[in-house]
Amino acid sequence: MFRPRIIPVLLLKGQGLVKSERFGKYRYIGDPINAVKIFNDLEADELVFMDIEASKQGRCISVDFVRNVGEEANMPFAVAGGIRTIGQIREIISAGAEKVVLNTSAGLDPGFIRSAADAFGSSTIVVCLDVRKNWLGKSQAVVMAGTKAIPFSPVEFAKLAEQNGAGELIVQSADRDGTMAGYDFGLLLEISGAVTIPVVALGGAGSLADMEKAVMQSKCSAVAAGSLFVYHGERRGILINYPSKHEKMKLITG
């Protein structure tokens, strides 16, 4: 029976974990390796680590960090942050990551997706499609931590990523990031209806009901979140958490 994957997405800033709101207002959360140990105990399906400063600083996520995660994690994990060469992907996969997530390099040079997929297989290559509304209210595909628009609509870029061999799309609403106000369900449905590869919902999840809606109504293959898995209660106290087996089953049964 199909059960969608439930994926914590953890943001790296310097040596620590942070949580953002609308790609800003960063709050320190804790030590990343400690978080991996907790998610091991909670039996998370998968993890994604995103180095949010790497592209802006012209560097790649640390291979040593990837190796440290690989030595600790019991689950598959993917990493993102400044990945722009085949050599970097090779090092990251050799260090223990199952997948790499491309954003800025894919948006500025979609052909790189094809080169990466040809070299490592589509199952290894994930493209993160960040979407932000401009001052006219029109959705734009953006890169460079949401600061630079690219000349493709979200649907155009999703199709282009699939055509170039991406095995999966993470669709993230920058406007809903960290708000816990619900995913952009319309955007998710539009993208999932335009491609045949798996679509992962990200940006705005505030409850398991939001995740259920993303799967049942927006046709997503997996659901991801940040705030939902690091905060607890109305005051947003820091408490790493993850759905129980019973709660996971609800995503199957509705």
- List the catalytic residues: 130
Number of C-beta neighbours around residue 29 at 10 A = 20
d(CA 47, CA 70): 11
Residue at 5: amino acid letter: R
Helix axes 63-72, 86-94, angle to 10 degrees: 30
CA 200 to chain centre: 8
What does the DSSP assignment read for 9-69? EEEEETTEEEEEETTEEEEEEE-HHHHHHHHHHHT-S-EEEEETTTTTTT----HHHHHHH
32-5-218-164 Cα dihedral, nearest 10 degrees = 80
Residues 6 or more apart whose Cβ sits within 8 Å of residue 29: 16, 17, 18, 19, 35, 230, 238
In whole angstroms, give the CA distance from residue 92 to residue 243.
Answer: 29
